């Protein structure tokens, strides 16, 4: 099977970089990157400069779906993307998940899957997705799984903390791998299927991200239609899982911890003066410190807002905390380090942020403002994780045959297949 890729919400090319490092045979035949409400499209400009031979569109994905025939979309066998996650962010207020402004982009992905039927899909998002929204835990991910089910896909997911697998940042994200039920891979995966060993030994993530133990398991038969899921579904998704047919098994796993790269290992030398904090540190100490502040809600309820302390400065003998899009600005989440040469306190440089995500130095130094360079890295993924997944995909594609893209399986068929092919009973 040709290693052709469509990269959605491409940013500055994290999936492209990771896949490229896993094997030179990957061919990104189409990329799309568009930042709404921005006149300057800096991430797109960076992508096209770094990948000049890739056809890249700077268009709203809804426009592409609504006028599909105008864009001559090529055939591809792998769809990848870190679709926008602001509405799921734990730092967001009033989040609405799939119903939110950015959450609706899931439905655009769903349209592409329905139309193009790529055999394989690899998506990335914040792990908060599994618990969204707060008043109906698990609904949003349940809707996504229902969509995959109705399109004839099986799914596996894993929440991965990059630092636990040897990288320099404690960046925790969910990766979602889906595959058509007409693929060789699906046929191979359902052989001798055992819920107690599958995710640890046979699953998509098992070899590249080894598991020490499985600590708990939840099961569910997803029979409901999408509307019913949206209205009523609640379920505790754990940090790994799979859905084959309509049978969901989710498990809490303990990783095999690998030695990590520490924050001090990626720091630059000879840093410019502009990155230093100066002598006035009171504001920084307050922002980073623990707090217990009396507040009153809109309805008049009095409560205490509490906030734990953050290390100030950040320790250099451990992986970094998660970078946010506000990195380097004067706020609580910005990393502050003690410079290796001067022993003075400073923020991270753009190059150091690129290193934390595994990009080459000055990857985003393509004409965008420095502030937006930080923003791009706060949005990016750890490319080394995708590189490992690409190694697994290399073997999957080598063993694959050309699938029939036009097959559509209805929900009743899914349920029947799930009952006859899955080799364990659910409570």
Sign of the dihedral defined by the CA atoms of residues 102, 12, 8, 62, in that order: positive
Q: Are residues 249 and 354 in the same domain?
A: no
153 and 37, same structural domain? Answer: yes
Considering the domain architecture, whether residues 389 and 371 belong to the same structural domain is answered as no
Strand duo 4-8 + 78-81: pairing: parallel
Q: What is the pLDDT of residue 170?
A: 98
Q: Residue 101: its pLDDT value, please?
A: 55
Q: Quick check: is 210 in a domain?
A: yes
| Structural domain contains residue 191 | yes
CA distance linking residue 106 with residue 64, whole number of Å: 14
**Angle of helix 42-50 relative to helix 370-379, nearest 10 degrees?**
80
Could you tell me if residue 405 is inside a domain? yes
Same domain, 220 and 245: yes
Residue 405 pLDDT: 46
- For 237-264, the DSSP string reads --SEEEEETTEEEEEEEEE--BPPPPGG
- Determine the pLDDT at residue 50: 98
Task: Tell me how long the chain is.
Answer: 427
pLDDT score recorded for residue 408 = 46
Domain with residue 397: its CATH number is 3.40.50.150
CB 208 within 8 A of CB 388: yes
E strand residue ranges, 18-152: 27-32, 56-57, 78-81, 120-126
Residue 345 belongs to a domain: yes
User: Domain total for the chain?
Assistant: 2
Within-domain flag for 426: no
Using left for φ > 0, alpha for ψ between -120 and 50, and beta otherwise, residue 240 falls in beta
Whether residue 359 is found in the same domain as residue 392: no
pLDDT tens track, the chain, 427 positions? 899 999 999 999 999 999 999 987 999 999 999 998 788 999 999 999 999 999 999 999 999 999 999 999 999 999 999 987 644 333 334 555 665 555 578 999 999 999 999 999 999 999 999 999 989 999 999 999 999 999 999 999 999 999 999 999 999 999 999 999 999 999 988 887 787 789 999 999 999 999 999 999 999 999 999 999 999 999 999 999 999 999 999 999 999 999 999 999 999 999 999 999 988 899 999 999 999 999 998 888 889 989 899 999 999 999 999 999 999 999 999 999 999 999 999 999 999 999 999 999 999 999 999 999 999 999 999 999 999 999 999 999 999 865 444 444 444 444 434 333 333 333 3
Residues 236 and 365 in one domain: no
The pLDDT, as a whole number, for residue 85 is 60
pLDDT at position 330: 94
The answer to whether residue 251 sits within a structural domain is yes
Domain assignment present for 363: yes
Q: Do the domain assignments include residue 427?
A: no
Same domain for 290 and 144, yes or no, is no
Question: In whole angstroms, what is the distance from residue 7 CA to residue 29 CA?
Answer: 8
Same domain, 157 and 93: yes
pLDDT of 84 reads 76
CATH code, domain carrying 291: 3.90.120.10
Assess whether 228 and 307 both reside in one domain: no
Note if 6 is an active site residue.
no
Gap between the Cα atoms of 75 and 112, Å rounded: 11
Same domain? 297 vs 238: no
Query: Is residue 30 domain-shared with residue 109, that is, in the same domain?
Result: yes
Print the domain residue range for 313: 263-379
CA distances from 208 to 79, 255, 330 (A): 20, 11, 37
Active-site hit among 85, 147, 353, 376: 85
- Do residues 408 and 328 both lie within one domain? no
| Per-residue model confidence (pLDDT) at position 100 | 57
């Amino acid at each position: 099977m040709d290693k052709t890729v469509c990269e959605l919400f491409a940013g500055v090319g994290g999936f492209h970089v990771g896949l490229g490092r896993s094997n030179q045979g990957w061919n990104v035949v189409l990329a799309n990157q568009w930042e709404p409400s921005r006149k300057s499209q800096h991430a797109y400009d960076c992508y096209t400069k770094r990948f000049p031979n890739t056809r890249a569109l700077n268009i709203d994905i809804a426009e592409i779906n609504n006028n599909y025939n105008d864009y001559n979309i090529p055939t591809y066998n792998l769809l990848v993307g870190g679709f926008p996650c602001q509405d799921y962010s734990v730092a967001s207020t009033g989040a609405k998940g799939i119903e939110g402004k950015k959450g609706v982009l899931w439905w655009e992905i769903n349209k592409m899957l329905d139309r193009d039927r790529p055999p394989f899909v690899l998506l990335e998002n914040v792990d908060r997705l599994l618990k969204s929204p707060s008043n109906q835990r698990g609904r949003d991910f349940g809707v996504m799984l229902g969509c995959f089910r109705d399109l004839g896909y099986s799914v596996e997911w894993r929440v991965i903390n990059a630092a636990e697998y040897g990288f320099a940042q404690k960046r925790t994200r969910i990766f979602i791998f889906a595959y058509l039920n007409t693929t060789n891979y699906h046929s191979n995966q359902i052989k001798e299927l055992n819920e107690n060993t599958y995710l640890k030994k046979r699953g998509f993530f098992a070899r590249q991200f080894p598991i020490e133990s499985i600590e708990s398991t939840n099961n569910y038969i997803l029979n409901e239609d999408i509307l019913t899921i949206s209205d009523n579904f609640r379920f505790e998704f754990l940090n790994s899982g799979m859905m084959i047919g309509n049978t969901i098994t989710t498990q809490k796993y303990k990783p095999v911890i690998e030695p990590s790269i520490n924050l001090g290992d990626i720091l630059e030398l000879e840093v410019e003066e502009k990155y230093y904090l100066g002598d006035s540190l009171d504001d920084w100490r307050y922002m980073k410190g623990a707090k217990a502040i009396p507040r009153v809600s809109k309805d008049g309820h009095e409560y205490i807002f509490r906030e734990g302390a953050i290390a100030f400065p950040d320790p250099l003998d451990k992986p970094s905390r998660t970078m946010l899009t506000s990195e380097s600005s004067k706020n609580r989440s910005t990393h502050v380090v003690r410079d290796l040469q001067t022993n003075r306190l400073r923020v991270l440089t753009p190059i150091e942020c690129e290193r934390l995500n595994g990009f080459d130095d000055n990857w985003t130094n393509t004409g965008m403002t420095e502030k937006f360079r930080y923003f791009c890295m706060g949005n990016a993924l750890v490319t080394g994780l995708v590189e490992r997944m690409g190694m697994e995909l290399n073997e999957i594609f080598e063993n694959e045959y050309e699938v029939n893209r036009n097959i559509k399986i209805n929900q009743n068929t899914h349920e029947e297949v799930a009952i006859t092919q899955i080799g364990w009973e659910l409570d």
